[in-house]
Amino acid sequence: MGDPPALPLLAGTAEADLYEVLEIQKNADKDEIRKAYRKAALRSHPDKVSEDERPAAEIKFKAVQEAYEILSDDNSRHLYDTHGMSAFDKSQGSGGMGEGMDMNDLFNMFASGGMGGMGGMPGFEGGFPGMGGMGRPPPRPKKGKNAEQNYTVTLEELYKGKTSRFKLDKKIPCTTCNGKGGKDKAKSHSCSVCGGRGAVKRLLQQGQFLTEQISECTNCLGQGQVFKDKEKCKKCKGAGVIDSKNMVELYIPPGAQHGEKIISAGEADAYPGQEPGDIVWTLEQEPHEVFERVGNNLRAELHITLAEALTGFDRVVLKHLDGRGIQLRITQPKGKILSPGQWLKIAGEGMPIKRSDAKGDLFLNVTIDFPKDGWIKDEASIKHLRDILPKPAQPIKIDNEVDERDFVGVDLEEVEEQAGGDWEDDDGEGDEVPGCAQQ
């Protein structure tokens, strides 16, 4: 079969993803590999960067070269696809498959400051805690990972509060083998992927740099030990965990907000030797047809007729989030009117404020619905309106001649299109609502 190539840089990384280094798919053919290598080599060549960035560029350039050496050779590529980088790790008993500097030596140089221009890179300050020359990693956390979930709610549900109950899939320790993964009296052996450490190293690209990340081994789930196929537990197939259905209750208090996080403690996956993590729910509010929320306040449009703006009204103007009708009685003494864009404040009709009995306020923006064209036809009615409505301002005095012109109605989009710009105010302060600052 022939000897695989000598790989000094990547040989110590059990899960270095060579396809990610060359930015290709795992089913890429030789021609795609060759093109990707040329592109990556040109991009990472040390001669194309400044002097202080050259050490990092040299590392990346070598990684690109060595990734190409593996993936361009059918035999070494098969070894990598089958066993990962452990096939090229001489510390795993591969018997001289690679000569030169391994990943431990390389990153020890970073830890000791042996390569200039790399200061401040995440993970390199003070070496690699817990690895101890690729010894055992830090102990597994006592608590498992949290699970992030989004939960969509309506504004009505945020106003009134809600309790939801539903079933979720959850991993729990196997009830047959008690989470060991093997049959009774079966003996485990070291995981071949991580060498019994329970963790593996992976090369990650961050801008122009390659950094090392230590993560839990997915083959042994961080245990460092596995069982032979015939000795694996039949129920969990050696995983130590099984799938179960779990009833979860989610309580959303009145006044909760979009983006708020609610925690269901201990409801995430549970693995052997760890406390289960939490489910962290992030609330996502659906847009509402009537109301817009601003902190603890609400705002909405108040549509009234021209007659109501001039004379007042007494009617239900909208349906609130809890189903109640909100009625307004507007009287217009001495000719006082409602104007377009005017804001009305209704105290205590906003959103509930958590951990209190108080509520925010409701702000209504007056919108006047004018009559449609042709709503009045007889001259007598027109004359009557002219008599009772305010008279126009004094005529403008013109010393020169006066031109009488025709006109047509247009919409704002047509005006902006012809003007070639946006006619909105530059200061952007026209729509600010009094009392609606974000809380």
Cα end-to-end span (Å), the chain = 69
Range list of H helices, 91-134: 103-111
Q: Which pLDDT score is estimated for 78?
A: 83
Give the pLDDT band of residue 399 (cuts 50, 70, 90): confident
Of 104, 428, 127, 159, the C-alpha closest to 283 is 159
Q: Which pLDDT score is estimated for 373?
A: 84
pLDDT by residue (tens digit) across 299-327?
999 999 999 999 899 999 999 999 999 99
pLDDT higher than 80, residue 21: yes
**147-153 sheet: strands from edge to edge:** 147-153, 279-285, 261-264
Between 164 and 206, the higher pLDDT residue: 164
Q: Could you give the CA distance from residue 154 to residue 283 in angstroms, rounded to a whole number?
A: 10
Give the pLDDT band of residue 421 (cuts 50, 70, 90): low
Q: What angle do CA 284, 290, 293 make, to 5 degrees?
A: 45
Chain mean pLDDT for the chain: 78
Q: Which pLDDT score is estimated for 259?
A: 94
pLDDT higher than 50, residue 68: yes
Q: Are 227 and 182 in contact (CB under 8 A)?
A: yes
CA distances from residue 272 to 60, 141, 175 in whole angstroms, order as listed: 38, 12, 11
Q: What is the mean pLDDT of residues 81-105?
A: 52
pTM > 0.85: yes or no: no
For residue 37, the one-letter residue type is: Y
Q: Which pLDDT score is estimated for 168?
A: 92
Give the pLDDT band of residue 1 (cuts 50, 70, 90): very low
pLDDT by residue (tens digit) across 210-220?
677 788 787 78
pLDDT by residue (tens digit) across 193-216?
888 888 887 777 676 666 777 887
Q: Could you give the CA distance from residue 121 to residue 377 in angstroms, rounded to a whole number?
A: 80
Task: Give the domains, in start order, of the chain with CATH numbers.
Answer: 1-135 (1.10.287.110), 147-188+227-285 (2.60.260.20), 292-419 (2.60.260.20)
Q: Which pLDDT score is estimated for 96?
A: 37
pLDDT higher than 90, residue 341: yes
Strongest mean pLDDT among 29-33, 74-78, 147-151, 176-180? 147-151
Q: What is the mean pLDDT of residues 374-400?
A: 85
Q: What is the mean pLDDT of residues 176-194?
A: 87
CA distances from residue 348 to 175, 275, 345, 351, 401 in whole angstroms, order as listed: 54, 44, 9, 8, 59
Quote the percentage of the chain above a pLDDT of 90: 31
pLDDT by residue (tens digit) across 104-158?
443 333 333 333 333 333 333 333 333 334 444 556 678 888 999 999 999 999 9
Q: Could you give the CA distance from residue 154 to residue 411 in angstroms, rounded to a whole number?
A: 34
pLDDT higher than 70, residue 8: no
Give the pLDDT band of residue 409 (cuts 50, 70, 90): confident
